[in-house]
Amino acid sequence: MDDFRYIRFLDEIGLEDLPLVGGKNASLGEMYRELSAEGVRIPNGFATTVAAYREMLEQSDTLGELHAVLDGLDADDTVDLARRGALARDIVYKVGLPDAVAVEIIAAYRQLQVEYGVDVRLAVRSSATAEDLPTASFAGQQDTYLNIRGDDALLEACRRDFASLFTDRAIHYRVEHGYDHFDVALSIGVMKLVRSDLTASGVVFTLDTESGFRDVVLITGSYGLGENVVQGNVDPDEFYVHKPTFSAGHRVVLRRTLGGKAVQMILVDDDEGRTTRDIPTPRLDRERFCIDDAEVLELADCAMRIERHYNRPMDIEWAKDGVDGKIYIVQARPETVSSQRPAAASEHHVLDDVARVLVMGRSVGDKIATGRAHVITDIADMAKFQAGEVLVTDATSPDWEPVMKLAAAIITNRGGRTCHAAIVARELGVPAVVGAGTATTTIKDGTVVTVSCAGGDIGCVYAGAVPFHIVRDEVDDLARPATKIMLNLGNPELAFKTSFLPNDGVGLARMEFIINEYIKAHPMALLYPEKVSDPQARATLTQLTRGYPDGETFFVQRLSEGIGTIAAAFWPKPVVVRMSDFKSNEYAKLVGGLDFEPDEENPMLGFRGASRYAHPAYAGGFRLECEAMIRVRNVMGLTNVIVMLPFVRRIKEADQVLERMADFGLARGSNGLKVYAMCEIPNNVILVDEFAKRFDGFSIGSNDLTQLTLGVDRDSDLVAFDFDERDDGVKAMIRMAVEGCRRNGIYSGICGQAPSDYPEMAEFLVEVGIESMSLSPDTVIATTRHVLKIEARERAAFKRSAAQQRPGFAGRHAHPTLR
């Protein structure tokens, strides 16, 4: 059949045909037609036009019957909704397909059999005319049928697909978004089924779904057909790729997380008519990533091409074919939640106390909520759910949406950050913890719980009502002061979100946080596991490094991905990374650390910082740290990273460490590398002119500088009253350090808490002409406003005094805004 009235093949349709074939099919046709030549691979297929749907409804009195069932519906009455939805679907299904439509569907199927072979398996999906729009996705509202073969099976799937326009979830969604049921029509998409049942599939977002950060591609994947990832039935693997450095030629995965991948969906043909089923994923497959780096990067490239074509963030489904080994894009729709989040205000939730953790999982959003847990193990019990309760269930599907919108928070046993529960929670603006494993058995029905997603990627469910508060700040009109305001940051999971704060980069990224949280093992233990005496520690090392060729690779990759995530979040602003500053007692607490650390009476003044790097006992560990930094800068292309050395006691020690770094390939000046030193020892200030010959900048660590200037143990409660950064002696040290940096033409900054805690210290630092203050994220906005007021006052004073500077203001004319 050459001319079709009710059928269009993908090469015949594009975005302009949305009213004809619905959003999903229009998007597939657009990509097939416009992006295939760019390497974006789309399986061929065809779509029924809305004329086929209208033709079906015009048979007998179908429209009248549907009106009688749906008019006057209260969509929030879940019992009534279920009753009316079932009646509506039954009406549409019984009408059947018009003969002319059925004939054309079979004829189009024959053309696909010519292209792909007579045994080609099909995917049959719905595409509504109010679906996959830039402002409302409507994704997953209708049904999908996989592994369809044969004329009768295809026509039956099409009948059921037409009827699925009236699923309970689709009816509720239309009512909630103000769409008339009878203004929306359905097109059916029929495509070659990509045999991802033999390999893997997943979802790609061209932004970070939690923060809305747009400079990354987030790729999720699991074994088997993609429905499990889309519906949230598995905890998938996750990968991030940084767009700017990828586009510049640095083809490398920024960060990866191994998911549980407990089950996989495969194809079946059984006597009961089932076409798919879930089977357990073998243990060895669960413990490795479902796709390799080359495939991650191919997906990132496709996603970026799709995003450029549509000129907006996208939500993309992919599948790898187990027969030809190629990756296919099987859907792309506008991302409609994170990309539309307003950025004018800064809001973050902060826990005020701690409590017993019941379960943990992937966090969705960044909020905290408290409520009474309502555990639902059967969808039939949804009607019992009350507004303001915390929904606890195994996993959700679109059928759960009527109750999800009533929930204070959502907790699921299964799912990853791109699962159904996560997508809906983001859309609703409620916190969710997904993939929590044992939530439905650990959390007791009716008990009060607190759900916190404010700590990064890991969400926690606490017993009881844990107090918390919300910090809100309007930041859209905040000017930039002449004094650079930077951030102290250690947790990569918070980097994307934190980057939205007004800032000039990261003045202190703590390497030890990444080692402690993401590596957990002592670097020397990873290098020499045979020297670890504790059998349990050796077993833990084996578990930590599974999936990696050796402990060295594990350490370098994990550390570089953590640092790289922070650097990517703030690219191209400077990110100052301090090499590890654990004390020996802290290093000893890492897995295997007891066999490599001394027992010191005063670790604060012992084997730490530069002395450790220059010592043979830690030479291997320092080499790994340097290799991670090299990977971040040279392989990942994140050259905005600056290396900083802590606790450099003596000039000779500085020379030794810099020489050791150069031996390892991390030479100052190589590929533009800057090396800073912490200024936290009085000797750093006394010999500032000599230290300045060896380093590109000083970052004043006010905590240690105060401790060593005043001779006060900052960890001792007995003398805590004597620890004060505002002491005249400490301020004199800071002034000399800043003036010494200026005299030698190197950078000066401070990364202690003093300017955050004491407004008068911020004023003092502005007066002495420090170049930057690095602050904890929760104080950035308030301190920025304070610094702006100080600088405005200084400008006014400077203008009044004309050329003559008042005492204490030496060097402030170096700030262009104060001239």
Q: What is the sign of the dihedral through the CA atoms of 753, 755, 761 and 767? A: positive
Given phi > 0 = left and psi -120 to 50 = alpha, else beta, which region is 591?
Answer: beta
Q: Taking the CA atoms of the chain, what radius of gyration do you get in angstroms? A: 30
DSSP string, 88-145: HHHHHHHH---HHHHHHHHHHHHHHHHHH-TT--EEEEEEETTSS-SS---TTSS-EE
Catalytic annotation on 181?
no
For 708, the 3-state DSSP assignment is helix
Other C-beta atoms within 10 Å of 13: how many? Answer: 24
For 668, the 3-state DSSP assignment is coil
Cα(395)–Cα(717) distance, rounded to whole angstroms? 48
Helix axes 151-163, 99-116, angle to 10 degrees: 120
Other C-beta atoms within 10 Å of 538: how many? Answer: 17
Q: Token pair for residue 264?
A: 């996989």
Cα(680)–Cα(367) distance, rounded to whole angstroms? 37
Catalytic annotation on 420?
yes
Q: Nearest-CA neighbor of 362 among 433, 289, 468, 466?
A: 433
Cα(405)–Cα(397) distance, rounded to whole angstroms? 13
Cα(693)–Cα(675) distance, rounded to whole angstroms? 11
Cα(274)–Cα(85) distance, rounded to whole angstroms? 23
* Measured torsion, CA atoms of residues 590, 591, 592, 597, in degrees rounded to the nearest 10: 10
SS3 content of the chain, % helix, strand, coil (to 5): 45, 20, 35
Question: Which residues neighbour 123 within 8 Å (Cβ) at sequence distance 6 or greater?
Answer: 45, 144, 145, 146, 148, 189, 190, 191, 192, 193, 194, 330
Q: Nearest-CA neighbor of 642 among 552, 572, 556, 742?
A: 572
Given phi > 0 = left and psi -120 to 50 = alpha, else beta, which region is 435?
Answer: left
CB 207 within 8 A of CB 313: yes
Find the catalytic residue in 626, 741, 751, 786: 751
Find the catalytic residue in 420, 522, 786, 815: 420
CB 317 within 8 A of CB 303: no
Cα(55)–Cα(702) distance, rounded to whole angstroms? 77
Cα(255)–Cα(241) distance, rounded to whole angstroms? 7
Cα(749)–Cα(737) distance, rounded to whole angstroms? 10
| b/e code 540-570 from CB counts within 10 Å (16+ = b) | bbeebbeeeeebbebbbbbbbbbbbbbbbbb
Give the neighbor-by-neighbor strand order of the sheet with 200-205: 255-257, 237-242, 216-223, 200-205, 314-320, 327-334
Cα(215)–Cα(174) distance, rounded to whole angstroms? 33
Q: Nearest-CA neighbor of 690 among 747, 744, 635, 731?
A: 744
Q: Token pair for residue 538?
A: 């050796």
Residue positions annotated with a catalytic role: 420, 751
